Chains A and B, each alone.
Chain A
Amino acid sequence: MGPRSDLPLSDNPAIRILPWIIALMVYLATLTLAGGLLVATMADEWSRSLTGALTVQVTPTKSESSVELDARVAQATRTLLKTPGVKSAHAIPLAEISAMLEPWLGPESNIADLPLPRLIAVTLDRELDREALAQRLQKTPGAEIDDHEYWRTHLVMFLRSLEIVAVIMVSLIGVTTATIVVFATRSGLAVHLEVIEVLHLIGAPDDYIASQFQRHAQRLGFIGGVAGGVFGVATLLGLSTLAGNLDGAALPSFQNWHWPVLAALPIASAYIAKWTARRIVIRALTSMV
């Protein structure tokens, strides 16, 4: 039993359906917001790896011996180390490269025989002029900056736009929820006009009547919100179990602070319902005798 009410608000079908619609809205909002949070996490990770590091690739020329290639890698590394802004530069050992390629080439292959490019991992202590660096590297034929940073930048931009879209969608779901509460409350007002008039004539202030509507709306908003939120989180947990079965270093995962953010949605739906109902009722009552 909720608090005592002088209005038979739950008798109204338009209001009875309200918690169901709110549950659906909060379910959608939970999934959308969760998607937004994951995208944001992913964008953060990608943009962290963007700054402060780059890779230089040294391509072997035809019929070059591995010793000659080693010499060119050493030259390029020296060039890099002399460049202001470069903190460290070291050639990735052949063994490491072959370990990385083993799943594709098989354990038997003799990597030293293959014309594989060599990689130099570079860390930076400040942003540096890529153009100038590329110029300097021209001394070493076949050495060039690996430009995967280019598509990384674009990926991060894309992820950030998805984040904005998620925020807009959650806001639109909020506005839709408020609109539904507006119609349910208006219908409640129309259905209970008689009772409202009696309450007025008995000396009830508008606030007394509005508080009955708003209490009721808040309760329904909360009940529907919790139901939608629970189903939403259950869906997310199901999805992340499935994702866990994948070898998913690239898949972002939920952070601890994501859960309270998602749990705030049912509370938000309760407050949206409460304040929308109050505004509508007060406005309607003010235009009555």
Chain B
Amino acid sequence: MATSNNTIVKFEKVGIRYGTGPEVLRDINFDLAEASFSFLTGVSGAGKSSLLRLMYLATRPNRGLVTMFGKDVTTVTRNELPAIRRNIGVVFQDFRLLNHLNIFDNVALPLRVSGAPEDVVDKHVSELLTWVGLADHLKALPPTLSGGQKQRVAIARAVIARPRLLLADEPTGNVNDAIAVRLLYLFEELNRVGTTVVIATHNEALVDRFGHAQLHLDKGSITHRRVEPNS
């Protein structure tokens, strides 16, 4: 596995709460090296999605320090946000596809928001959708797709702009084990070309089968870590 000492995500004593409730994450410390592959595990409600949201800058920590690509997120200005977010691909737990756009346009979004010319968009999106086996559905609207197909669209959208960091929230939640394994091969493929991958899942069997680094969340704290083995 390609590893480098280049840290792209760093959490120091991070805590977060929703409203006036208790902290759902507390004293979180970890860092991710560039081009690493990690699982984020924990039972439902452990705080996996909250941790990912901090990484894709949808929320800011209530305390502690989150450093993304060498930048303290609390000092990031509004104008700098889009550029940072374009380095991050996210597969949302509920996909968050835009239902009024066909799957081609959904997958094309990250390229278009960064101003890519249409011929480039055409080429890349068609290629990627062919690769994930959806070439026949370019004009389909998301509501007409099965859960597994939506998942692949969501993944394609997350990776189309070749992000440096890929965050996937339960990407295997809606598919059977055979497809889950195939999706993980896809993530490994991306990781091999240098993308840092973080996959949140409560499927421990899958994690054991792939054996990458593991961050385990329990009651809001990271209680268990496995360092990435060399394969």
Contact = CB atoms under 8 A, between A and B. Distances in A.
A201 interface: yes
Interface stretch (B36-44, B94-102, B190-198, B202-210): B94-102
Contacts, number: 50
Contacts of A11: 100
Interface in A185-210: 194-195, 197-206, 208
Contacts of A198: 96, 98
B113 A203 contact: yes
B78 A199 contact: no
Contact of A200 (B85, B98, B161): B85
Contacts of B110: 202-203
B56 interface: yes
Q: Which of A199, A200, A205, A206 has the most CB of B within 10 A?
A: A205
Interface residues of A, number: 19
Contact of B58 (A195, A204, A289): A289
Q: Which of B59, B81, B83, B113 has the most CB of A within 10 A?
A: B113
Classify the secondary structure of A's interface with B. Answer: helix
A201 B90 contact: yes
Contact of A202 (B60, B79, B83, B109): B109
B85 A6 contact: no
Contact of A208 (B56, B105, B113, B161): B113
Interface string A1-32: 00010101001000000000000000000000
B223 interface: no
A6 B109 contact: yes
Contacts of B101: 6
B58 A203 contact: no
A194 to B, nearest CB: 8
Given A203-B86, A204-B82, A289 B59 contact: yes
Contacts of B109: 6, 199, 202, 204
A286 interface: yes
B114 interface: yes
A8 B83 contact: no
Interface in B89-123: 90, 96, 98, 100-101, 105, 109-110, 112-114
Nearest to B100: A8
A286 to B, nearest CB: 7
B56 A201 contact: yes
Nearest to B113: A204
B40 to A, nearest CB: 18
Contact of A203 (B60, B79, B85, B100): B85
B58 A202 contact: no
A11 B99 CA distance: 12
Contacts of B157: 202
Q: How large is the interface on B (under 10, 10 to 19, 20 to 34, 35 or more residues)?
A: 20 to 34
B100 A202 contact: no
A208 B83 CA distance: 13
B74 to A, nearest CB: 13
A204 B113 CA distance: 5
Nearest to B59: A289
A150 B81 CA distance: 71
B195 to A, nearest CB: 16
A201 B58 contact: yes
A197 B112 CA distance: 16
Contact of A201 (B85, B100, B161): B85
A197 B81 CA distance: 13
Contacts of A205: 79, 82, 113
Contacts of A286: 78
Contacts of A203: 82-83, 85-86, 88, 110, 113-114, 161
Interface string B59-87: 11000000000000000001101110110
Contacts of B105: 4, 6
Contact of B98 (A6, A206, A289): A6
A205 B81 CA distance: 8
Given A6-B105, A6-B109, A11-B100, A202 B85 contact: yes
Q: Which of A8, A198, A206 has the most CB of B within 10 A?
A: A198
Given A6-B105, A8-B100, A11-B100, A199 B90 contact: no
6 contacts: A6-B105, A201-B58, A201-B85, A202-B109, A289-B58, A289-B59
Given A4-B105, A203-B85, A289-B57, 20 more contacts: A6-B101, A6-B109, A6-B112, A8-B100, A194-B96, A198-B98, A199-B109, A199-B113, A201-B56, A202-B85, A202-B109, A202-B113, A203-B82, A203-B83, A203-B110, A204-B109, A205-B113, A206-B78, A289-B58, A289-B60
